[in-house]
Structure 1
């Protein structure tokens, strides 16, 4: 069996940190790997090492899969790289507008005129410049990844699941020999996660070799081998049949200072009849109805799970709750006992609401550090643009200490690991002691260890305060026990 890639006795640094010591790994033809482990940072570091984006201080990484291609291009004196044969799907999507600038702002997706600044799915797919010829066409990837009905849709309007399918399609159009995917099933609903295995099998059947990072309990169809890693290297490998026979689980526990958390949370809220009340709310974009005569009431102190498949309207509903959707003013819709469109300002809506979504980190200016992002929660702005008081600075420091972010205070949020971005955004939402906390797939991108800690943290918040909670997740295991009510969109 021919070798595709070999890592021999490699000591590897990633983002100026020691990632692996004496790493050994062999990837051969007809093997399709799932990489698991406790640390999401290590999983990403492993994939980035294969891509050549790490420092190998000793040992070596060889890539036999690119030798023939490199020889051919060298003989014809063409500029080339082994990366020409690799496609990669990251957890961070960085799409640009028609001016090729990544300057979207969060509200833009809900404004029907300004959202047109975003390129459509079709325009984005047409931009792919493959270095080699191959089997994948715009038509075949659109059909495989169910993008045909989305081709004319602006990318900023895509749901999380639709965005992930677009990212997979862009990778295929590069005509890869090697396809690397970092946590590709994160944020997909149950049906989409099942379908992902079928998509993977079709990609493999077309001759593409696949390596993904994933959680220990989500090994999709098509994968043939599993490897468990940590800083010391590959701990163990299995064939898929061996792995399923073992029922392997990764277990680890941790906690924050729960008593300190309790002192940071609000102790009382104003008396209200309801926090959220919707009566026959209908939201349309053009001819497409997103929400159809929706009725929902959330009482103070209730904890709700908001669920539904990708594209069912969850993001649109949340945009109403956080004051970002201009169609709110034409609806029978109340927040904090006040009907929208009765003279309230956007700040009246935002002040009592804490909101966390993984994509929020993309919309902060590049100079916004961990500390500034957290402090911006006091002002409900996407960044800190005024001087915080001594009391606010002190409170920000307490939140950073609680979530172990103190050493990262002056790093731009874009440079933080995904899990630390999530803790930063949670601290930003909580620092102003909100009445309503909305968490939209807020632990997305975290490894299993961090996801359990996030779930425990939200449970502790519910136990130590009367804060109202709306929790969005496709993973039943991530939902805290305190969540007792369900709103399901279909």
Structure 2
């Protein structure tokens, strides 16, 4: 884990001969456009050129709102309460780059694509390659080569943007922001979707920049050694400001205690499973069975001879680096991948391609993923978005009173009742992810597939979800979960399957 380092911080500060203000708020009220009530009240915050600020807070605490405010995306009242000396324009958002969860550059829009398109053989009609995405603004070739090398996306330049993995997309969007040479760079949860290696690599790259950087992180995320200051938010207000050392000492003490409890529970679960297997010689029926599965695009193997069986009631973690083929493998299990018919694959006891429809498969599967998240209309309410899970679509359909009752109970279970009638656009990305987690459960499906489900969620929310799984999952329900964070894996998940580079079996 990256930790606070006094020597490194002092070296960074030495780069600055004079201290001056970059952004300043003094008792400012921050309003979203068209909203009378302020989102942030009496905001007082000063960011100097010798600071490397990290913003911390739980879901709904106001982290993204504060990031957007620093980037000049909200109204400030009175106008005199905010200053942006870092820019030479009356419009700070023109020179400050904010990279948040969803792509909003105008070069690429998910509205012109559909979810299954990323698994097709051919490129989409309105194809935007990564090279086009990064080079549209006529960037300096030398700068481009340096950035794509640093962020490890050089080998992806010819690929369609829509076909990049979640972690690859995140790195590409950060690269684009850097190439625009911003006066300040603000990254909202930049570590989401990145494996351990690429999280470390990104933080190192950011630490070498001359450009002022503000990071928005979850409390549990890796902490950059170059950070100089921490701002902690709670209930849309700054609760605490201080130095990283103080924050990390308190956080790490809690994490160690939780890890000990989690490991003790897992050992107990493994003993229970072992005892059940000894008492019952009849193996449980398989929910998923892959035999020597291969996926090839343009001569490149994405999955290489994968054999894997998931039994009824088993809980698995699917692990692997960015680009190792995890999402492609999961697309076989949801019926979305066209190459499933060319492989030996059994779902729920039936070989794929023997007459079953894609919708018969989907009816037994509950899915949440970063990719499907991107295709939801922000105008949907929490109820409408969750209700689409009954039909395995991303557009709203009428649901019955009985179905509304099921959705309402799940929102209640996760203390999300107030979000049923709220529109997605008025939620943080973490709150939206909670709605989509509920969506994946409304059918109480035989197989739950969670691809990086906890992106944007804080420790408390993750703990609540994992407790819900332990208390509410039926013994015959199976779970497959993808994550790049070992400490996010539910305690009840005792099986692991790992993919290596090139989609090989790395177990």
Could you tell me the TM-score, scaled by structure 1's length? 0.85
How far 1:159 sits from its partner (Å)?
1.1
Matched, 1:364 2:376: yes
Matched, 1:45 2:65: yes
Match of 1:225 among 220, 229, 242: 229
Structure 1 partner of 2:329? 317
SS at match of 2:455: coil
Summarize the Cα distance change of 1:208–1:40 in structure 2 as closer, same or farther, 3 Å threshold: farther
* Alpha-carbon separation, structure 2, partners of 1:392 and 1:231: 32
Summarize the Cα distance change of 1:81–1:320 in structure 2 as closer, same or farther, 3 Å threshold: same
1:407-418 aligned at under 5 Å gives the runs 407-418=418-429
Summarize the Cα distance change of 1:329–1:96 in structure 2 as closer, same or farther, 3 Å threshold: farther
Structure 1 partner of 2:478? 468
Asked if 1 retains the 8 angstrom alpha-carbon contact of 2:97 and 2:177, the reply is: yes
Structure 2 partner of 1:168? 174
* Alpha-carbon separation, structure 1, partners of 2:393 and 2:236: 42
SS at match of 1:118: coil
Summarize the Cα distance change of 1:40–1:408 in structure 2 as closer, same or farther, 3 Å threshold: closer
Structure 2 partner of 1:91? 101
Q: How far does the alpha carbon of each residue in 1:182-231 deviate from its partner, in whole angstroms, 9 at most, with x for none?
A: 1111221111111122111222xxx2000111133421133222222334
How far 1:101 sits from its partner (Å)?
6.8
Matched, 1:183 2:189: yes
Once structures 1 and 2 are overlaid, which stretch shifts more, 369-378 or 225-234? 225-234
Asked if 1 retains the 8 angstrom alpha-carbon contact of 2:414 and 2:465, the reply is: no
Match of 2:217 among 190, 214, 228: 214
Matched, 1:62 2:83: yes
SS at match of 1:324: coil
1:252-291 aligned at under 5 Å gives the runs 273-291=285-303
Asked if 1 retains the 8 angstrom alpha-carbon contact of 2:107 and 2:133, the reply is: no
Structure 2 partner of 1:343? 355
1:390-409 aligned at under 5 Å gives the runs 390-409=401-420
Once structures 1 and 2 are overlaid, which stretch shifts more, 294-303 or 234-243? 234-243
Summarize the Cα distance change of 1:182–1:135 in structure 2 as closer, same or farther, 3 Å threshold: farther
How far 1:471 sits from its partner (Å)?
1.0
Match of 2:440 among 429, 434, 450: 429
* Alpha-carbon separation, structure 2, partners of 1:481 and 1:245: 25
Once structures 1 and 2 are overlaid, which stretch shifts more, 310-319 or 401-410? 401-410
Asked if 2 retains the 8 angstrom alpha-carbon contact of 1:40 and 1:446, the reply is: no
Summarize the Cα distance change of 1:93–1:364 in structure 2 as closer, same or farther, 3 Å threshold: same
How far 1:348 sits from its partner (Å)?
1.6
Asked if 2 retains the 8 angstrom alpha-carbon contact of 1:272 and 1:336, the reply is: no
Match of 1:30 among 50, 54, 62: 50
* Alpha-carbon separation, structure 1, partners of 2:126 and 2:407: 36
Which ranges in structure 2 are unaligned for 5 or more consecutive residues? Answer: 1-18, 259-282, 501-507
Structure 2 partner of 1:5? 23
Matched, 1:329 2:341: yes
User: What is the count of residue pairs matched by the alignment?
Assistant: 452
How far 1:403 sits from its partner (Å)?
3.6
Once structures 1 and 2 are overlaid, which stretch shifts more, 82-91 or 33-42? 33-42
Structure 2 partner of 1:440? 451
Summarize the Cα distance change of 1:33–1:485 in structure 2 as closer, same or farther, 3 Å threshold: same
SS at match of 2:309: strand
How far 1:411 sits from its partner (Å)?
4.1
How far 1:126 sits from its partner (Å)?
1.5
How far 1:97 sits from its partner (Å)?
7.7
* Alpha-carbon separation, structure 1, partners of 2:158 and 2:448: 34
Summarize the Cα distance change of 1:368–1:49 in structure 2 as closer, same or farther, 3 Å threshold: closer
How far 1:451 sits from its partner (Å)?
2.7
How far 1:377 sits from its partner (Å)?
1.8
Match of 2:391 among 354, 357, 379: 379
Matched, 1:489 2:499: yes
* Alpha-carbon separation, structure 1, partners of 2:229 and 2:353: 57
Matched, 1:122 2:131: yes
* Alpha-carbon separation, structure 2, partners of 1:27 and 1:369: 36
* Alpha-carbon separation, structure 1, partners of 2:426 and 2:354: 41
SS at match of 1:474: coil
SS at match of 1:64: coil
How far 1:172 sits from its partner (Å)?
0.7
Which ranges in structure 1 are unaligned for 5 or more consecutive residues? Answer: 71-79, 254-270
Summarize the Cα distance change of 1:432–1:225 in structure 2 as closer, same or farther, 3 Å threshold: same
CA RMSD after TM alignment:
2.7
Structure 1 partner of 2:276? none
Structure 1 partner of 2:9? none
Summarize the Cα distance change of 1:460–1:19 in structure 2 as closer, same or farther, 3 Å threshold: farther
Asked if 2 retains the 8 angstrom alpha-carbon contact of 1:115 and 1:157, the reply is: no
How far 1:407 sits from its partner (Å)?
3.9
Asked if 2 retains the 8 angstrom alpha-carbon contact of 1:216 and 1:250, the reply is: no
Structure 1 partner of 2:270? none
Asked if 1 retains the 8 angstrom alpha-carbon contact of 2:365 and 2:449, the reply is: yes
* Alpha-carbon separation, structure 2, partners of 1:229 and 1:331: 50
Structure 1 partner of 2:461? 450
* Alpha-carbon separation, structure 2, partners of 1:148 and 1:227: 35
How far 1:135 sits from its partner (Å)?
10
